[in-house]
Structure 1
Amino acid sequence: MTISLTRAEKRADKHADKRAPASGMTAEERKVILASSFGALMEWYDFYIYAALAVYFGALFFPPGNETAAFLASLATFGAGFLIRPVGALLFGRLGDRIGRKYTFLVTILLMGVATVGVGVLPTYEQIGITATVLLVLLRLLQGLALGGEVGGAVTYVAEHSPASKRGFYTSSLQTTATLGLLASLFVVYLLKTFLTEAEFRTWGWRIPFIVSLVMLVISVYIRGKLHESPVFARMKASNATSKSPIRESFTQWQNLKSVLLLFVVAAGLGAIFGTGHFYSMFFLNKTLHVPIETVHKLIAIALVVATPCYLFFGWLSDRIGRKYIMMAACLLAALCIQPVFKGLTHYANPALEQFQRQGAVQVSAGDCRARLFGEPVSACDKIRGYLTDLGVGYTFVPASDPAQAEVRIGERTLQGFDRAAIKGALIEAGWPERADPARMNTPMVFMLLLVPILFLAMVYGPMAAFMVELFPARVRYTSLSLPFHLGAGWVGGMLSFVVTAMNVSSGDVYFGLWYPVVIAGLAFVIGMVFVPETRGRDLST
């Protein structure tokens, strides 16, 4: 076994020595980028297919009776996959720094594929009750665990195969896979909804996108199985220079810990832009502005296609002028533009709703108002506030001394308790639009506004892989970069839709929750400008 491993290391080192000619990359570099990118694409597709179907999962896997609570629970379950990612980062990061990059991210893709197919065959709440909810959460946790190891492994592997002068450009190909994975998930859902009736899709059609990932899994495992180990790791292993305890070295030595903290800050800024542009914008257009989900998916898909080459451009640009200032500019622009972008979406997608919001015609007065998200009985106040937010209706809240009191004033009408039909009827009577009017929707402007945060994401995400890899020494690189990236980008980005929606419900303002990504992006800019170093051109073998 030792002889075989040594030969593999020598073979990897021989391939690593074939440098690209001035005109392009070597065949080995193309193979590394293709294999890593396809596998990453498959993993992101698996992870995002849930996001594309989140509006359905509330009814499929959570207790009936409160649509807003079920939707929030489905968002929280989506976010749970992000929350577990740091655990995967530690587990697979340690393995990657101990036994190698190649074998570790081969395991991650197998785990992701199995979990995704599992969601596709999972019985619903109607069939097996709360067990369906528990199993869905467990499978989402497995997906997050796998993705926690995949990102660090893929960027480390590609970067350690790349020449220093092209590292940003080569690794930016991996960054496109997150966008392409989301795009592929939207495309599959769109095709199915084109050929199936809504009833068929809700009954069984939603399972197909999860099950077809089995084909992608087989292809990815086959391609990755033919890769060689990273030349940097192969040399370290041959000279017995690998870390004995990557976790301890990464997080107890100040010089390395300082870099970990700085990466967390930058990754949090990325997560704020990522969650806003890729996910919350879809939920906002569909759930708040009542634009048909098919239209939302189509516009997001076109925006992703337009933005994808920008990841490569900003990766290439970071090889010329550096990584830091491109990423910091993205955080600043996001902090300045997120609120105007979403108010602009309301203006151009549903101007009648914007006009109704300005009237301030809705007031809620109640006593018992506490958030209960996972199917427990809720008060009338909770139901009123959740229902109004779900309809895209802002309101003012006046606390009442009587816990039993719950009333909503809409225009000149005052309604006691929670009566869904009465509330909706009063809103329509007061001028609330039940759905976005296609004739009044300015589709080109909606598209441009959707594109803005996605372009900011390309600015920060394109150079990010090279920046992360260059920030840490080779012996603990996989572990050191994986944990802060997933804590920052995963936790902030993954839970963003849930946090923003919950803040909106609590405040009565459909834009209030957007201060969450604004503040995070702003802090990332300030801290990054002062403390984050420029890493372009650093030697990865040290």
Structure 2
Amino acid sequence: MVSVTEIDAAKPKAAVSRRLVITAASLGTIFEWYDFYIYGALAAFFGALFFPPGNETAAFLASLATFGAGFAVRPLGAIVFGRIGDIVGRKYTFLVTILIMGCSTAAVGLLPTYAQVGILAPVLLVGLRLLQGLAIGGEYGGAAIYVAEHAPDRERGYHTSWVQTTSTVGLLLSLAVILLCRQSMSASEFASWGWRIPFLVSVVLLAISIYIRLKLDESPVFAEMKRTGATSQAPIGESFGNWSNLRLVLIALFGATAGQAVVWYTGQFYALYFLTATLKLDYVNAYALIGIALLAGTPLYIVFGALSDRIGRKPLIVAGFLLAAVSYFPIFQALTAAVNPALSVAQQDSPVVVTAGNCNFNIFAKPSSPCDLAKDYLSKAGVSYSSKATEDPDGVSVRIGGNEIKGFDAAAYAVALAAAGYPKSADPTQVKWLAASALLVLMMVWSTMVYGPMAAFLVELFPARIRYTSLSLPFHVGNGLFGGFLPFVAFAIVAFTGDPYAGLWYPIGVASLSFLIGLLWIRDRTGRPVAD
């Protein structure tokens, strides 16, 4: 079997330097992740801009669901562009995806709001998010495969780990642009029109990315398959109609990418939402904390990618799942104490109990019963509570520490919460910055341990002729469904239970499942030739 090294040696004039390959693939992918995550970083604003007024919790959850909609179509993008990538080529495919992503992102910056065009606003927003998701579904697989098929067998983890940094760097870039915009204008100006700027910046990044990618040649592995007529004419059928390959797809999904997705999104996006929505830290300081963690953690993708070349992909990936699953509860509880110590003390000293007999949990409906109104008020205030049932179908009482309030009375709740020490927001002067940063960096360690070797692991798992299709689907089902809907599912669990930490059961459960499946069924194929 011909190795990548031999192919390169046979065609030295056609081969592109590995440095240019890594740079071009990574820069383009950074841009696509920037485009995709700029919405996620601004999701808290979009509830009021693009959805009907009247229920802040429902609007926020709707904005998170729209964010998740982009993830939901990523598997479709994986199938569409995976097939094209296996038939037409790697380079052509990720040129098309970057064009779709850039144009759809810039268009978000031109959208009218709900106040201007009514229900058409969320329809247009969701439509553009679907286009973004379709494009990103074809991007990652192309970039990872392109780099891997240029890399030496014994350095594949190191080379592909640069592509793995792009999702975090794209998120970091999006936060930096947002922070710069927020610092250069008032809060009201940013909420009114300034939020559009990060989306419109995409036009410049798109031009740079296309220019760089046009300099690339086709992958040497694909070029050789094309020359010898070894490419697949039915990659979808070969990938999913053949049990031996479908089995690998399922193992990759449930034993690797699903767990990787929830670990990555918990440590970055869910942590950001937790800081702002639960701990009530202002956006500038929350972005700064996440930015510090991203800067400190990004080099670890390279470290763990290179380490996987020495000790194997599997040990690092399954260890990351286990460490995340056992540590999330203590990490987030410690994060509360570090970022909003007054809230942490109040939760322990003055617990809140809601006693009611008629609660209708519906995250998208406007609260109507006294119980619904009471719980909605507490959720908006970032106050955790437990629930007790009563035989009175219409009655509700809220006990805050030693103070019990009958019926729904927002003013009385506010007074009682203040008396019990519940703060309206986190006090930046009381934030333990070093401790908070260390906790966020620790979650980045779990993320990079799992994600750093992931591209090399997936590339080595599947045969070259159907690699784009076979790799892309499990990656984007895992990240699009299990990961993309994590903020929505987790906060829905929190809204239902009243426990700010209950949402963590979702990533813990998925990570634990991937740990068990990965431990039992993943075969480590580290360093195998990718021309096979």
Instruction: Give the equivalent residue in structure 2 for 1:414.
Output: 405
| Sequence identity percentage | 54
Measured against aligned partners, the alpha-carbon deviations of 1:93-142 in whole angstroms (never above 9, x if no partner) come to 11111111111111111111111011111011111111101111111111
Q: CA deviation at 1:459?
A: 0.7
Residue pairs, 1:438-449, within 5 angstroms? 438-449=428-439
Instruction: Give the equivalent residue in structure 2 for 1:92.
Output: 81
Q: Closer, same or farther in 2 for the Cα pair 1:292/1:322, shift >3 Å?
A: same
Instruction: Give the equivalent residue in structure 1 for 2:194.
Output: 205
Q: Closer, same or farther in 2 for the Cα pair 1:375/1:219, shift >3 Å?
A: farther
Q: CA deviation at 1:439?
A: 3.4
Q: CA deviation at 1:16?
A: 7.6
Query: Aligned to 2:105, which of 110, 116, 135?
Result: 116
Contact 2:82–2:138 (8 Å) recurs in 1: yes
Instruction: Give the equivalent residue in structure 2 for 1:102.
Output: 91
Residue pairs, 1:374-453, within 5 angstroms? 374=364, 378-410=368-400, 411-417=402-408, 419-453=409-443
Query: Aligned to 1:222, which of 211, 214, 223?
Result: 211
Instruction: State yes or no: 1:136 paired with 2:128.
Output: no
Amino acid in structure 1 at the alignment position of 2:384 = G
Distance (Å, rounded) in 1 between the aligned partners of 2:154 and 2:345: 53
Measured against aligned partners, the alpha-carbon deviations of 1:478-522 in whole angstroms (never above 9, x if no partner) come to 000111111112212111111111111111211111111112112
Instruction: State yes or no: 1:493 paired with 2:483.
Output: yes
Instruction: Give the equivalent residue in structure 2 for 1:9.
Output: none
Instruction: State yes or no: 1:256 paired with 2:245.
Output: yes
Q: CA deviation at 1:372?
A: 3.2
Distance (Å, rounded) in 2 between the aligned partners of 1:495 and 1:85: 12
| RMSD, aligned CA | 1.9
Q: CA deviation at 1:407?
A: 4.0
Distance (Å, rounded) in 1 between the aligned partners of 2:504 and 2:247: 29
Contact 1:314–1:462 (8 Å) recurs in 2: yes
Residue pairs, 1:163-312, within 5 angstroms? 163-265=152-254, 266-312=256-302
Residue correspondences, number:
524
Question: 2:147 aligns to what SS in structure 1?
Answer: helix
Query: Aligned to 1:463, which of 453, 475, 486?
Result: 453
Question: 2:298 aligns to what SS in structure 1?
Answer: helix
Distance (Å, rounded) in 1 between the aligned partners of 2:9 and 2:192: 51
Amino acid in structure 2 at the alignment position of 1:487 = V
Instruction: Give the equivalent residue in structure 2 for 1:38.
Output: 27
Amino acid in structure 2 at the alignment position of 1:413 = E
Instruction: Give the equivalent residue in structure 2 for 1:3.
Output: none
Contact 2:260–2:450 (8 Å) recurs in 1: yes
Amino acid in structure 2 at the alignment position of 1:211 = L
Instruction: Give the equivalent residue in structure 2 for 1:479.
Output: 469
Instruction: State yes or no: 1:125 paired with 2:132.
Output: no
Amino acid in structure 1 at the alignment position of 2:163 = L
Measured against aligned partners, the alpha-carbon deviations of 1:194-213 in whole angstroms (never above 9, x if no partner) come to 11000110110000000011
Instruction: Give the equivalent residue in structure 2 for 1:326.
Output: 316
Distance (Å, rounded) in 2 between the aligned partners of 1:69 and 1:251: 38
Q: CA deviation at 1:85?
A: 0.6
Q: CA deviation at 1:13?
A: 6.0
Query: Aligned to 1:513, which of 497, 503, 521?
Result: 503
Instruction: State yes or no: 1:372 paired with 2:372.
Output: no
Q: Closer, same or farther in 2 for the Cα pair 1:238/1:472, shift >3 Å?
A: same
Q: CA deviation at 1:537?
A: 1.1
Measured against aligned partners, the alpha-carbon deviations of 1:232-272 in whole angstroms (never above 9, x if no partner) come to 11111222221121111111212111110111021111111
Instruction: Give the equivalent residue in structure 2 for 1:22.
Output: none
Distance (Å, rounded) in 2 between the aligned partners of 1:91 and 1:383: 45
Distance (Å, rounded) in 2 between the aligned partners of 1:85 and 1:39: 18
Distance (Å, rounded) in 2 between the aligned partners of 1:252 and 1:75: 35
Instruction: Give the equivalent residue in structure 2 for 1:146.
Output: 135
Amino acid in structure 2 at the alignment position of 1:257 = L
Amino acid in structure 2 at the alignment position of 1:192 = C
Question: 2:430 aligns to what SS in structure 1?
Answer: coil
Instruction: Give the equivalent residue in structure 1 for 2:328.
Output: 338
Distance (Å, rounded) in 1 between the aligned partners of 2:486 and 2:7: 42
Contact 1:324–1:534 (8 Å) recurs in 2: yes
Q: Closer, same or farther in 2 for the Cα pair 1:383/1:246, shift >3 Å?
A: farther
Amino acid in structure 1 at the alignment position of 2:267 = G
Amino acid in structure 2 at the alignment position of 1:167 = R
Distance (Å, rounded) in 2 between the aligned partners of 1:144 and 1:420: 41
Q: Closer, same or farther in 2 for the Cα pair 1:379/1:99, shift >3 Å?
A: farther
Instruction: Give the equivalent residue in structure 2 for 1:315.
Output: 305
Instruction: Give the equivalent residue in structure 2 for 1:358.
Output: 348
Amino acid in structure 2 at the alignment position of 1:338 = Y
Stretches of structure 2 lacking an aligned partner (at least 5 in a row) = 1-5
Amino acid in structure 1 at the alignment position of 2:23 = L
Q: Closer, same or farther in 2 for the Cα pair 1:371/1:120, shift >3 Å?
A: farther
Contact 1:372–1:378 (8 Å) recurs in 2: no
Q: CA deviation at 1:295?
A: 0.8
Contact 1:13–1:234 (8 Å) recurs in 2: no
Distance (Å, rounded) in 1 between the aligned partners of 2:9 and 2:410: 66
Question: 2:308 aligns to what SS in structure 1?
Answer: helix
Question: 1:535 aligns to what SS in structure 2?
Answer: coil
Q: CA deviation at 1:540?
A: 1.0
Question: 2:388 aligns to what SS in structure 1?
Answer: strand
Contact 2:354–2:386 (8 Å) recurs in 1: yes
Q: CA deviation at 1:397?
A: 1.3
Distance (Å, rounded) in 2 between the aligned partners of 1:146 and 1:379: 43
Stretches of structure 1 lacking an aligned partner (at least 5 in a row) = 1-11, 20-25
Distance (Å, rounded) in 2 between the aligned partners of 1:259 and 1:52: 34
Q: Closer, same or farther in 2 for the Cα pair 1:220/1:356, shift >3 Å?
A: same
Distance (Å, rounded) in 1 between the aligned partners of 2:370 and 2:47: 20
Question: 1:439 aligns to what SS in structure 2?
Answer: helix
Q: Which moved more, 1:397-406 or 1:132-141?
A: 397-406
Question: 2:353 aligns to what SS in structure 1?
Answer: strand
Q: Which moved more, 1:362-371 or 1:96-105?
A: 362-371
Contact 2:54–2:366 (8 Å) recurs in 1: no
